[in-house]
Amino acid sequence: MAVQMTRGQKLLWWVLLVLGVLLAVVAGAALWAYQRLDGNISTDHAAADALDRDADERPEARAGDGARNILVIGHDFGSGTGNARSDTVLLLHLSADGTRADAVHVPRDIVVDIPACRTEEDGWSEATRAQFNWAFQFGGAACTIRTFEQMTGIRVDHHLAIGFEGFAEVVDAVGGVEVELDEAEHDPNVGHDLPAGRHLLDGEQALAYVRARIFVGDGSDLNRLARQQEFLGLLYERITDQDTVADPTRLYPVLKAVTSAITADAGLDSLDELYGLAKDLKAVPEDGVGFRTVPTLPHTSEPNRLRLDERAAARLFAAVRQDRSLPPVP
């Protein structure tokens, strides 16, 4: 049975915002705009080369049954730390029969084994045990994929890396997004400082809002994820309302910002391919959409870090590998 989801969970984070926008508007775009937007999407040749070199260490690919596993990596530059780390990672699993789409979120603070990875300077990082989001810093998307595969035994078929550099531009292009705060929020780590009440956030303010963590709510990564999902639900509504979709002067800046933020493997690096994925997602019945977070427990020796709930996580990973419905949430 699918889990009842909030509006934000149905958007499946920033990437599904991207795909939803493409599905809603690309079909009607003029040819010149389509060609220009298509050229904005970057192909991740570096990740492909690195994964090819490490092919023997990866899980075996499924035998062409039609199921797909797409790893979605939302990244920025460490929220002010200067280090490129994956802020959000989720696996999007589409079943072979097209009746299920499951998104499995990987908390960034799970302490895992990260393999030695090829670096941008063509050297190698050292294999280490650290929090999951450090893998992207060590070796980009390929290192994140290998870390995920090593942790789960799930073969990643495709990947999308979505940068936050386009996020603020999208918010500004739709004229801002309104939020309401029950109490004042202040997080000096990311420049977030708002009194209680209603606020129309511009791009810079919105970026601080979705990055805020340590001084907001319970300070957890899961709390920040919930804030991000809720905000993206509001942003999606602004993008897909008729005033934006029907007005090319408002729509084109949104699409330009969205497509410029995408880096993908060679199987998803065009508007046609992304549009096809979006159509497949939309065709999944409402009760076939599921959202899970990798089961975790507080880490026993590292404060504010997580460890896998081994038994629950093993059941979840096995269901994805075998293209079965996800187990119910305990």
- Determine the Cα–Cα distance for residues 88 and 161; give it in Å rounded to an integer: 10
Q: Which amino acid is at 70?
A: I
What is the reported pLDDT for 80? 37
Report pLDDT for 76.
64
Q: Residue 53 belongs to what H/E stretch? A: helix 45-53
Give CA–CA dist 286/282, Å, rounded.
Answer: 9
What integer is the mean pLDDT of 66-95?
A: 75
Q: What is the mean pLDDT of the chain?
A: 82
- Coil/strand/helix, residue 60: coil
pLDDT digit string, tens, across residues 269-327: 988 888 788 778 878 887 888 888 899 999 999 888 999 999 999 999 999 999 999 99
State yes or no: pLDDT of 4 exceeds 50: no
Q: What is the pLDDT of residues 175-233, one digit of tens each?
A: 899 999 999 999 998 899 999 999 999 999 998 898 888 888 887 767 777 787 788 77
Ramachandran assignment for 322, one of left (phi > 0), alpha (psi -120 to 50 degrees), beta (any other) = alpha
Interior/surface letters 87-110, b for 16+ CB within 10 angstroms, e for the rest: bbbbbbbbbeeeebbbbbbbbbbb
**DSSP letter for each residue of 287-325:** GGEEEEE--EEE-SSSTT-EEE-HHHHHHHHHHHHTT-P
Give the model's pLDDT for residue 195.
Answer: 95
pLDDT for 3:
36
Q: What is the pLDDT of residues 224-268, one digit of tens each?
A: 777 877 887 788 778 777 566 667 777 778 778 878 888 999 999
- Res 173 pLDDT > 60: yes
Counting every residue written for the chain, the total comes to: 330
Instruction: Please give the share of the chain, as a percent, with pLDDT higher than 90.
Output: 42
